[in-house]
Amino acid sequence: KCANPQALRDLYGEIEEKHESHGNNLMFSARLPDVGRSTDQVREDFEKALKAHPACSGLEFQVCVASVSYKGSTVTREGGGGADRCVFIDILPIRAGKGAALHFIRETLFPTTLDRTVVAGDSGNDVSMFLFGSGFRGVMVGNAKAELLAVQNPSLHVVAQARFAAGVTEGLQALGFAA
């Protein structure tokens, strides 16, 4: 794990590492408190900290950031009244991620053509699926975050009005996968 932890703590306070990255030297996953920074600013902060650390010299990473609003354990619409906000961040090797994993599955484990492959997502950690290679067809659900919507390709991707699973169903219908 390489980064300048003090510089990041100065900006974000206590950084809560998620359990899936404990003991995993290939990735880092954390929940950050809301300090009023945009997802782009958070990504830049972490990229700068990675580049400044000697242990990271020559390594290439992707930094995925997603902002979440919630009440209790329920995710809410961004900016919902009385909702708390936090930021999730994943740092992975440049050749890792959901897009590369999907490509491997589609090419190796369950060979299928691009026209029979659809992805769905709602936040920044889904971007690599929508951009990998020449791009997979996909559904961005109604509650999708700005960092995902920013990579929308209208010729490949549907932005649903419905949220969560209902948005996936709506998108599959629009793409001709469901009646």
Q: In degrees, to the nearest 5, what angle opens at C-alpha 143 toward C-alphas 15 and 41?
A: 40
- The rounded distance, in Å, linking the Cα atoms of 149 and 144 is 7
pTM: 0.71
- The rounded distance, in Å, linking the Cα atoms of 171 and 130 is 14
Q: In degrees, to the nearest 5, what angle opens at C-alpha 77 toward C-alphas 144 and 80?
A: 150
* Residue 83 pLDDT > 70: no
Residue ranges of E strands in 18-107: 28-33, 61-71, 74-75, 84-93
Instruction: Please tell me the predicted confidence (pLDDT) of residue 150.
Output: 93
Tell me the per-residue pLDDT of 97-133, one tens digit each, with 9 for 90 and over.
889 899 999 999 999 998 899 999 998 889 999 998 8
- The rounded distance, in Å, linking the Cα atoms of 179 and 47 is 44
